[in-house]
C-alpha cells in the first residue's frame, strides 16, 4: 500500500519538527564550543532555514520513493 501525499507531508513535518529541536540544541553546543558568537535569535533563524530545507528534501525524497515503488524501479529481482 502506498502512502498518500498528505501522510508523506505529515510524516515529514513530524520528523523535521523533532529535528528542529535537536538542531537548535546542537547549534548552541557546537557554536559555544567553537566560541562562535551567535544570539538566540540568530540560532532560531539558522535552525528555521535548515528546517525548511530539510522539510522540502524529506517530502520530495519520500515522494520519489513512492513513485519508484509504483513503477517497479527497485525490485528485489
pLDDT per position as a tens digit, 32-58:
999 999 998 998 998 888 888 887 887
- What local confidence, expressed as pLDDT, does residue 76 receive? 55
Report the chain's mean pLDDT, rounded to a whole number.
84
Q: What residues contact 21, with CB distance under 8 A and at least 6 apart?
A: none
Report pLDDT for 8: 80
What are the structural domain ranges in the chain? Answer: 5-71
DSSP states along the chain: -PPPHHHHHHHHHHHHHHHHHHHHHHHHHHHHHTT----HHHHHHHHHHHHHHHHHHHHHHHHHHHHHHHHTTT---
Taking the C-alpha atoms of residue 77 and residue 16, their distance in angstroms, rounded to an integer, is 34
Amino acid at each position: 500500500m502506498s502512502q498518500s501525499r498528505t501522510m508523506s507531508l505529515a510524516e515529514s513535518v513530524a520528523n523535521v519538527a523533532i529535528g528542529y529541536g535537536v538542531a537548535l540544541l546542537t547549534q548552541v553546543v557546537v557554536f559555544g564550543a567553537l566560541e562562535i558568537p551567535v544570539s538566540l535569535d540568530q540560532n532560531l533563524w539558522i535552525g528555521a532555514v535548515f528546517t525548511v530545507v530539510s522539510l522540502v528534501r524529506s517530502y520530495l525524497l519520500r515522494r520519489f520513493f513512492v513513485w519508484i515503488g509504483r513503477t517497479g524501479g527497485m525490485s528485489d529481482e
